[in-house]
Amino acid sequence: MNAGIRLALRRSARRVHADQGGQTLAGELVALAILGFAVAIVLGTIATATAGVKVKHDRLTGATAGRSQSELIVDASYSPDPTAIPYPSIAPVTGYSVEVEVEYWDAATETFITTVQDDGLQRISVTVSRDGDVVFEIESYKVKR
C-alpha cells in the first residue's frame, strides 16, 4: 500500500474517533433501567396470561366433569332413595372434587327439602371444586315416570 493512502486512512480514523463523544455512566444506567422496565412489563404480561389460561382450563375441566355427572344421573333410572341406592358417578378427575346433592320435592309444602321423601321429583345439584374453590355448578331435575 502506498504511503499516501496509509496517511489518509490514519487521518480519517483519527477524525472518526475524535468526533465520537462516548457514553456517560448516567446514560448507560438510564438505558439499563429502561430495558429492565420493559423486561418486567413483558414478564408481568406473560404471568397474567398464564394465570388466565389456568383459570380457563379449570373452568373447562369443571364444566366437562359437572355436565358428565349430571347427564349420567339424568340418564339413570329414578331412585326413590339415592342414599340407599345411589345414582352412578363419573370416574374421579385428578385434582377436582365432584359433589352431588339431592333435594326432594315435598308436595305438602311445595318446596324442595333435604330429608329423603318420594313425591316423584328430585332436584340434583352437581358442584365441581378444585382446591376448595367452586369452578362449576349445575342443577337438573329427576322425575319418577
Please return the burial class of 64, using the count of CB atoms within 10 Å of its CB with bins 0-12, 13-18 and 19+: middle
Q: What is the pLDDT of residue 16?
A: 54
Q: What is the pLDDT of residue 72?
A: 96
- Residue 57, SS3? helix
- Reading the chain (145 residues) residue by residue, the pLDDT tens digits are 577 777 766 766 666 555 556 678 888 999 999 999 999 999 999 999 999 999 899 999 999 999 999 999 999 999 999 999 999 999 999 999 999 999 999 999 999 999 999 999 999 999 999 999 999 999 999 999 8
pTM (two decimals): 0.68
> Are 98 and 126 spatial neighbours (Cβ–Cβ below 8 Å)?
yes
Please report, for residues 47, 62, 93, 102, 134, the alpha-carbon distance to residue 138 in angstroms, rounded to integers and kept in the order given: 31, 10, 17, 12, 11
